[in-house]
Amino acid sequence: MIDEYDNFANSILSQDLELFKAITGTGGFLKDFYASVKEGAKSCVAKTFITGVSSVSLDSLTSGFNISLNVTSDECFNEYAGFTEKELKKLIPELVDVGSLGVSADEIISRMKPAYDGYCFSRLAKNTLYNSSMCLYYLNRMQKEHEFLAPEDYMDPASDHDGSKLKQLFDIAENSLVDEIVESYLSNDPFFLDKLAENINLNKATGYNREQLLSMLYYLGYLTIDRDASDSSALSLKIPNLFMSKLFAQCIADLRLKTNTVFTDTVLDISSLRDVNDDINSFAASCTEFLSGIFTSQVLTHMSEMALNLTLYTKLKSLRGIFVEMQKSLRVVGKGEKFADLVITVNKGKSNQCVYLIELKYAAKRDATEAKLDTLKKEATEQVNTYKTAMEFRDKTVKAYAMVFAGSECARWQLI
């Protein structure tokens, strides 16, 4: 048995493609090693079982080890790769003193679900899976801190918590493919392909093609199988959970926003927020100016509510003196967990500390009739009124707003 066979090779791949080709190509020690295992299968090696994250290292060996069978997507192995909800219900009381926390295992699972659940490794699978390392790390932290914690704030350090591995994948793909991934993410569209790539041989290619890139995103856990949208003719992939969605957002911000002078040089006027004013007209006007520059200069080619949220969050996060959260998890009594678009804390630790809770809505310029904008403002108002009652805002000064954009223009804003 060979465990994590691809660990060191994939680490090399992320830093030096030519060195990776050297160790897996003709005369490379990795190819020679597996060729020896293959030869041993004729005499002394009865069975070989190999585990790893992706098949790229093995595929790149070409004839060095061409006798293996990839069983990753077989239905019977789906639940080997994570925790089911049933398993978590049994595990949580063994790891966490739920009595002292005053919560049930079901309540803990309901908070973990958006952050850690959603993985599926066969379109025929009956259950989705929770990321086991994430779950164990979170439950361990909760037991140590004796507090019911927000799962999205506690990510296993061994994970790609800063999106660097995701960016390295994109570096080995054509720019047009990366653009397609970015646009699909911002549009909240699924990723369709005929089938997962069964041979990703980087000794015979300069980079990933579309099928290979999507397959690698799947193998490494950034995407997962959408059972409802897949069938025998086509496979649909989607982002599994909130954690992976935020990784994509962070990566897109690094690739498309932070490197652009329009993004870095334009100023957002947050003086009204710092002064804890109710009137945020100057802030709204500066958002319009900033977003107009972003989309006029094609920094991002697609405008959507997701793109709007990500762009404003990334810009606000670059400013000093404020603390910003996107899609913040909120516990609302009687209504479960909700997610606020933007939560901005100003003057943190001071007597005039204040939280600005903002719900964003977007309509394309061509669709932005008065009736449409009024409807969106009403929806945002209803959501914000619910969010304001969240347990996280108890005993805090909170100013809540609905902001509605028609294209890049902030066409409506209202203090709720």
Task: Identify whether residues 227 and 340 lie together within a single domain.
Answer: no
Least confident of 156-170, 232-246, 357-371: 156-170
Contact 406, 371 (CB under 8 A): no
Last residue in a domain, options 99, 130, 153: 153
Q: Does one domain contain both 149 and 168?
A: no
Together in a domain, 269 and 378: yes
What integer best gives the mean pLDDT of the chain?
87
- For the chain, how many structural domains are there in total? 4
Q: Examine residue 285 and state whether it is found in any structural domain, yes or no.
A: yes
Helix residue spans in 77-223 (DSSP H): 85-95, 98-101, 105-116, 132-145, 164-171, 175-186, 210-219
Q: Which residues of 83-122 are buried (b: 16+ CB within 10 A; e: fewer)?
A: bbbebbeebbeeebebeebebebebbbebbbbbbbbbbbb
CATH number for position 349? 3.40.1350
- 271 and 401 fall within a common domain: yes
Residue 292: pLDDT over 80: yes
Specify whether the CB–CB gap between 263 and 291 falls below 8 A.
no
> For residue 21, what are the CA distances in angstroms to 203, 205, 299, 329?
6, 10, 34, 44
215 and 320, same domain (yes or no): no
Q: Are 274 and 347 in the same domain?
A: yes
DSSP 12-81: HHTT-HHHHHHHHSTT-HHHHHHHHHHHHTTTT-----B--S-SHHHHTTGGGG------TT-GGGGGGG
What band does 63 get if pLDDT is binned at 50, 70 and 90?
low
Please check whether residue 249 lies inside any domain of the structure: no
Is the pLDDT assigned to residue 14 strictly greater than 70? no
So what's the pLDDT on residue 130?
97
Q: Model confidence at 122, in pLDDT bands (50, 70, 90)?
A: very high
Instruction: Tell me whether residue 203 is in a domain.
Output: yes
**pLDDT > 90 fraction of the chain, expressed in percent and rounded:** 50
79 shares a domain with 61:
no
331 shares a domain with 303 = yes
* 39: in domain: yes
Give CA separation, 301 vs 265, 307, 379, in Å: 19, 10, 27
pLDDT tens for each residue of 165-213:
788 888 888 888 888 888 888 888 899 999 888 777 666 667 788 998 8
266 domain-assigned? yes
Residue 248 lies in a domain: no
> Beta strand 398-406 with 354-363: parallel, antiparallel or unpaired?
parallel
Residue 112 pLDDT greater than 80, yes or no: yes
Last residue of a domain, one of 101, 131, 153: 153
Are residue 271 and residue 355 in the same domain, yes or no? yes
Nearest Cα to 403, choosing from 365, 356, 367? 356
Poorest-pLDDT segment among 73-82, 217-226, 339-348, 353-362: 73-82
pLDDT value of position 60: 56
CA–CA distance, 245 with 313 (Å, rounded to integer): 14
User: pTM to 2 decimals?
Assistant: 0.81
Confidence of residue 257 (pLDDT cuts 50, 70, 90): confident
Q: Does residue 391 sit within a domain?
A: yes
Using pLDDT thresholds of 50, 70 and 90, give the confidence band for residue 353.
very high
| Lowest mean pLDDT across 62-71, 88-97, 267-276, 375-384 | 62-71
Domain boundary (65, 95, 111) is at 65
Considering the domain architecture, whether residues 272 and 411 belong to the same structural domain is answered as: yes
235 and 292 fall within a common domain: no
Q: What is the pLDDT of residue 135?
A: 95
Q: What is the pLDDT, as a whole number, of residue 309?
A: 93
Q: Mark whether 91 and 22 lie in a shared domain.
A: no
* 299, amino acid identity: V
Q: How far are the Cα atoms of 63, 160, 245, 278, 302 from residue 340, in angstroms, in the given order? A: 52, 24, 15, 19, 22
Q: Would you state the pLDDT for residue 58? A: 58
Query: Is 197 contained in some domain?
Result: yes
pLDDT of 261-274, one tens digit each? 888 999 999 999 99
User: What residues make up the domain containing 228?
Assistant: 164-243
